[in-house]
Amino acid sequence: MKTIKVLVVDDSAFMRKWISDFLSEHPRLEVIGTARNGREALEKIAALRPDVVTLDVEMPVMNGLETLQRIMRDHPVPVVMVSSTTTEGAENTIAAMQYGAVDFVAKPSGPISLDLYKVKDELIGKVLHASEANVAALTAPRRQRPSWRLSFKAAARPQQAIVAIGTSTGGPRALETVLTQLPPDLAAPVVAVQHMPKGFTASLANRLDALAAITVKEAEDGEVLQNGTAYIAPGGVHLIVREEGGALKARFDESPPRAGHRPAVDVLFESLAAIRRCRKIAVIMTGMGSDGTVGLKILKESGNTKAIAEARETAVVFGMPRAAIEAGVVDVIAPLDSIAAAIVQSIGE
């Protein structure tokens, strides 16, 4: 099996050593070098040609975001960000996801984490997964926001609709592409599960809200779902949808993680299966693993459901869409730039 060559970038000598030691314990990972700042990182990427880079968000000389943008422009390679969980750190990490980072690992406590061992397995797993990422999808130019050719006619809809999106690795960038192409008069609410820890989903929602014409917010327990608004599941709880008093409401569920995930796409999709009066549009995009496939099977069996999966060529990681496609529960396979149009068309059918 191929050895994965890793470059570790962090301004702390302590963190460089810990990250290097952790990664080197895995038989497939070889740390081929380290760098203290962004400028040094760019030089070493050009010279050493690593398969994956771990990149600290906060560094002197050239910070992680600037370094990442230069990497994706000059030497595209899968990057895993290593981030602090401060508010500023979370905002920078979400920006990094939009700029092309594959994934991130949150330091348990501050810039120099003496308890980094707590995320050792997560770090190793994400570096391994990053090595399989579709770099072409990370660097592909994205369309600007459309001039709302997708807008709905004023005719009343005979049936309430709801859109549910599930995504994981590479998801923040995919969500940006889809949500910014949805028209402001979208005749359905959108509920979205992005695998992400607590403390980062609010920053994701805020960033997407600033970019999209629809409203994007972190979901709140018990709120009524409104058309033209997208609700991002908070990290650490499952997001489910219930029909209460004739309205669709977001509810939180603290049952155990499903296949390691909370929120889980399966849990969201399964909750929608109990809602009979709605037209349901389920979307599975980039991500490692198969979360969403079991829930989608149950959702399809409930009827009145259209399932859309992201095509291989645009998915950063094709695992989640592939699992759903191979299970035979997908109606439409679409490249990322066409998913918004497929959603709008499905609502109107």
* Same-domain check for residues 106 and 211: no
Residue 176, in any domain of the structure: yes
Residue 169, in any domain of the structure: yes
* Same-domain check for residues 210 and 334: yes
Q: Among residues 129, 195, 238, 261, which one is catalytic? A: 195
68-81 b/e (C-beta count within 10 Å ≥ 16 → b): bebbbeeeebbbbb
- Residue that is written with structure tokens 């809200």 in the block: 209
Residues in the chain: 349
Number of structural domains (the chain) is 2
Look at residue 106 in the predicted model and tell me its pLDDT: 85
Beta carbons of 42 and 74 less than 8 angstroms apart: yes
133, 153, 171 — which closes off a domain?
133
* Same-domain check for residues 46 and 115: yes
Q: Among residues 84, 271, 291, 338, which one is catalytic? A: 291
Cis amide prior to 146 (ω within 30 degrees): no
Token couple for 316:
């950063």
Spatial strand order in the sheet of 103-106? 29-35, 4-9, 52-56, 79-83, 103-106
The helix, strand and coil proportions of the chain, stated in percent and rounded to the nearest 5, come to 35, 25, 40
Look at residue 143 in the predicted model and tell me its pLDDT: 61
Residue 268, in any domain of the structure: yes
* Same-domain check for residues 178 and 279: yes
CA 34 to chain centre: 27
Domain containing 67 equals: 4-133
114, 133, 152 — which closes off a domain?
133
* Same-domain check for residues 204 and 330: yes
The most distant pair of C-alpha atoms in the chain lies apart, rounded to whole Å, by 63
* Same-domain check for residues 128 and 176: no
Dist. CA 301–CA 295, nearest whole Å: 10
Look at residue 154 in the predicted model and tell me its pLDDT: 38
133, 148, 183 — which closes off a domain?
133
* Same-domain check for residues 120 and 219: no
List, as one string, the DSSP characters of 86-101: SHHHHHHHHHHHHHT-
Q: Among residues 168, 290, 338, 346, which one is catalytic? A: 168
Residue 105, in any domain of the structure: yes
pTM, whole model, 2 decimals? 0.92
Residue 150, in any domain of the structure: no
- Residue that is written with structure tokens 């570790």 in the block: 8
Residue 296, in any domain of the structure: yes
* Same-domain check for residues 323 and 196: yes
* Same-domain check for residues 166 and 129: no
Three-class DSSP category at 88: helix
Dist. CA 70–CA 38, nearest whole Å: 9
Look at residue 240 in the predicted model and tell me its pLDDT: 98
Look at residue 158 in the predicted model and tell me its pLDDT: 52
- The interaxial angle of helices 171-179 and 336-348, nearest 10 deg, is 50
Look at residue 46 in the predicted model and tell me its pLDDT: 96
Residue 154, in any domain of the structure: no
Active site residue 195: yes
Three-class DSSP category at 282: strand
Residue 17, in any domain of the structure: yes
Ordered per-residue pLDDT tens for the chain, 349 residues: 889 999 999 988 988 998 999 999 999 999 999 999 999 999 999 999 999 999 998 887 788 899 999 999 999 999 999 887 666 778 999 999 999 999 999 877 655 556 677 788 999 999 999 999 999 998 877 665 554 454 544 344 557 899 999 999 999 999 999 999 999 999 999 999 999 988 899 999 999 999 999 999 999 999 999 999 999 999 999 999 999 988 999 999 999 999 999 999 999 999 999 998 899 999 999 999 999 999 999 999 999 999 999 999 999 999 999 999 999 999 999 999 999 999 999 998 7
* Same-domain check for residues 18 and 62: yes
Dist. CA 298–CA 102, nearest whole Å: 30
Q: Which residues pair with 167 in a beta bridge?
A: 194
* Same-domain check for residues 124 and 191: no
Beta carbons of 241 and 278 less than 8 angstroms apart: no
| CATH classification of the domain holding 22 | 3.40.50.2300
| Burial class of residue 173 (count of CB atoms within 10 Å of its CB; 0-12, 13-18, 19+) | buried
Look at residue 156 in the predicted model and tell me its pLDDT: 47
* Same-domain check for residues 295 and 332: yes
144-159 b/e (C-beta count within 10 Å ≥ 16 → b): eebeeebebeeeeeee
| CATH classification of the domain holding 263 | 3.40.50.180
Dist. CA 314–CA 186, nearest whole Å: 24
Specify the amino acid at residue 28.
R
Token couple for 125:
């797993």
